Amino acid sequence: MTSGFRAIPPVNRILEEDAIVQLIEAHSRDAVLDLIRQNLEEIRAAVSEGADPPDLPSLVFEIEHQASKRWRAWPERVINATGVILHTNLGRAPLSDDSIQAMHRAASGYSDLEMDLETGKRGSRQSHISQLMSQVTGAEAAMVVNNNASAIMLALATFAVGKEVVVSRGEAVEIGGGFRIPDVLRQSGATLVEVGTTNRTYARDFDAAINENTGAILSVHASNFKVIGFTNAPTLEELVEVGHRRGVPVLHDLGSGCLLDTVPYGLAPEPMPQQSVSAGVELGFFSGDKLLGGPQAGIIIGKKEAVARVSSHPLARAVRIDKMSMAALAATVLHYIRDEATSKIPIWRMISATEEELRRKSESWASFAQNGVSVASRSAIGGGSLPGETLPTWVTRIPSLQPGEAEKMAQRLRDNNPPIVARIEDDAVILDPRTVLPGDESDLREALNNIAQPNAAS
């Protein structure tokens, strides 16, 4: 064991290596020295357990590898060839060019974020986006926070602390990331009162549950699953009628918050903020980075007095949206106002892409891969939106020539620069052009030419 410890390269010898010198020039001596010492501690621990220490070249290579992973620019640009439009693991909705420019403008200098340039006095970061959101949804007022979970919690903290909130049993749901409606109610200081059954709930169930301690009725869109068959749910209009008659506000969590009708694109109807406003709910909530196609945000729309109450709650500052996201969101909403969402917002370009356009691309890509073929398939919406709904597409299918080869090829694609994320079906790599942005196609073709050919490394 003593000889093993003696064989561990000393720090001063490691620092003399050319690769380490370059790391120090690129980062700093202290940062690299800290990484070296961490590695040496791990090596000593392994040697004490009987392992052999690595030689100097192997250790330097490992330090280089760790440095490249730890200090790389992050998050890294990735090409999404999965066909999942709102891929949560890949950052959901890519932004439009206008939204990216708006973020850059907000981040690269000072801005009028909270100043009224006409009066020279302090203004509100909410005033501009409130006007835009009210215009596209028809709401009396609007405000924006950092995400939809915050929007719901803020509203519950405003209207229902120490009170009961009535929710249909079938809507006391859990969505991605362990976000559970019962937990949100509990954290906001409200008490959950479930009514009806998992599959059938009526307006009369809500009516019967209301008492002097009821703070709100909460309607939740089950955005990432479906209950089908013998089902019933009250309409928003029915809930609003109950709420108005009993003096209880109705809050509506729409989930994705789609501003365009999804039916013309061959998809099931998705709740729209405009419909929520029309039904007369007190407040509605939806996400910015799902079917809206913008940055992460939680959007609150509804009655002027209700929005004012929520905006003045102390928690509102804790969940405040940052200036870059606010700028991107405003630019995204302008696309809807200008009736250019399907041409400017990436996810809506993807949703509205024609089968013929997708077929041509998949055939072109297939020519760059050994045994690549163009076949009909389906794309998914993803992101907890429109569960079970898919769109017809054409994909490039690269079958394995031997068992397990698809996994290896998918790994090589992920190791590419930029990384390409595909999906695997029936031991074949599948590349769906629907979710590949126009500026990424040349990189994808080059990667296929290098990776998916007979001479590519295995």
For residues 235 and 203, membership in a common domain is answered with yes
Q: Roughly how many angstroms between the first and final C-alpha of the chain, as a whole number?
A: 38
- Say how far apart CA 253 and CA 271 lie, in whole Å: 10
For residues 203 and 298, membership in a common domain is answered with yes
- Say how far apart CA 383 and CA 87 lie, in whole Å: 6
Q: What is the pLDDT along the chain (458 residues), one digit of tens a residue?
A: 567 888 899 999 999 999 999 999 999 999 999 999 999 999 999 999 989 999 999 999 999 999 999 998 889 999 999 999 999 999 999 999 999 999 999 999 999 999 989 899 998 989 999 999 999 999 999 999 999 989 999 999 999 999 999 999 887 776 655 667 888 888 888 888 999 887 888 999 999 999 999 999 999 987 666 666 677 888 999 999 999 999 999 999 998 889 999 999 999 889 999 999 999 999 999 999 999 999 999 999 999 999 999 999 999 999 999 999 999 999 999 999 999 999 999 999 999 999 999 999 999 999 998 889 999 999 999 877 777 789 999 999 999 888 888 999 999 999 999 999 999 999 999 999 999 999 999 999 999 998 876 555 44
Residue 84 is assigned to a structural domain of this protein: yes
Coil, helix or strand for 232? Answer: strand
Question: Tell me, what's the pLDDT at 430?
Answer: 97
Can you give the CATH number for the domain in which 441 is found? 3.90.1150.180
Question: Tell me, what's the pLDDT at 363?
Answer: 96
Residue 131 is assigned to a structural domain of this protein: yes
Tell the residue number behind the tokens 């990432």, with chain if given. 224
Tell the residue number behind the tokens 């019967």, with chain if given. 208
Supply the Cα-derived Rg of the chain in whole angstroms.
27
Residue 139 is assigned to a structural domain of this protein: yes
Residue 458 is assigned to a structural domain of this protein: no
Token pair, residue 213, equals 């301690």
State the angle between helix axes of 323-337 and 127-137 in degrees (0 to 180), rounded to the nearest 10: 30
For residues 332 and 357, membership in a common domain is answered with no
- Sheet strands (E) in 64-135: 79-80, 84-86, 115-116, 121-122
For residues 84 and 110, membership in a common domain is answered with no
- Say how far apart CA 151 and CA 174 lie, in whole Å: 16
Omega within 30 of 0 (cis) for the link into 418: yes
What are the contacts of 66-72 at 24+ separation with CB within 8 A?
Answer: 66/35, 66/39, 67/23, 67/27, 67/32, 67/35, 70/35, 71/27, 71/31
Can you give the CATH number for the domain in which 207 is found? 3.40.640.10
For residues 204 and 161, membership in a common domain is answered with yes
State the angle between helix axes of 405-415 and 441-451 in degrees (0 to 180), rounded to the nearest 10: 130
Looking at this protein, which amino acid is placed at residue 260?
Answer: L
For residues 84 and 104, membership in a common domain is answered with no
Question: Tell me, what's the pLDDT at 401?
Answer: 80
For residues 241 and 301, membership in a common domain is answered with yes
Token pair, residue 130, equals 């409130």
Q: Which of 325, 344, 363 is the last residue of a domain?
A: 344
3-state secondary structure 172-211: CCEEHHHEEHHHHHHHCCCEEEEECCCCECCHHHHHHHCC
For residues 290 and 401, membership in a common domain is answered with no
Measuring CA to CA, which residue among 73, 77, 95 is closest to residue 27?
Answer: 73
Token pair, residue 154, equals 């803020």
**Pair 323, 106: CB distance under 8 Å:** yes
Q: Which of 344, 360, 387 is the last residue of a domain?
A: 344
80: β partners: 421
Other Cβ atoms within 10 Å of 214 Cβ, number: 21
Measuring CA to CA, which residue among 332, 151, 323 is closest to residue 251?
Answer: 151
Residue 366 is assigned to a structural domain of this protein: yes
Coil, helix or strand for 448? Answer: helix
Residue 356 is assigned to a structural domain of this protein: yes
Written as one string, the DSSP assignment of 352-372 is H--HHHHHHHHHHHHTTSTT-
Measuring CA to CA, which residue among 407, 436, 434, 437 is closest to residue 423?
Answer: 407
Q: How many domains does the chain have?
A: 3
State the angle between helix axes of 29-48 and 18-26 in degrees (0 to 180), rounded to the nearest 10: 130
For residues 330 and 353, membership in a common domain is answered with no
Question: Tell me, what's the pLDDT at 2?
Answer: 64
- Say how far apart CA 80 and CA 437 lie, in whole Å: 8
Token pair, residue 180, equals 């559970």
For residues 29 and 178, membership in a common domain is answered with no
Q: What is the pTM of this model?
A: 0.90
Which CA distances in Å does 10 have to 7, 21, 336, 403? 9, 15, 62, 45
- Say how far apart CA 299 and CA 287 lie, in whole Å: 6
Domain that holds residue 192: 95-344
Q: Mind listing the pLDDT tens digit for each residue in 158-192?
A: 999 999 999 998 877 766 556 678 888 888 888 88
Residue 268 is assigned to a structural domain of this protein: yes
**Pair 373, 396: CB distance under 8 Å:** yes
For residues 211 and 250, membership in a common domain is answered with yes
Phi, psi of 33 (to 5 degrees): -60, -40
Residue 361 is assigned to a structural domain of this protein: yes
- Beta strand 214-220 with 164-168: parallel, antiparallel or unpaired? parallel
DSSP letter at 425? E
Question: Tell me, what's the pLDDT at 256?
Answer: 86
DSSP letter at 77? P
**Pair 196, 168: CB distance under 8 Å:** yes
377: β partners: 393
Q: Which of 70, 104, 128 is the last residue of a domain?
A: 70
Which CA distances in Å does 425 have to 20, 35, 366? 43, 40, 16
For residues 202 and 335, membership in a common domain is answered with yes
> CA 235, 236, 239 angle in degrees (round to 5)?
95
Coil, helix or strand for 34? Answer: helix
Phi, psi of 391 (to 5 degrees): -120, 140
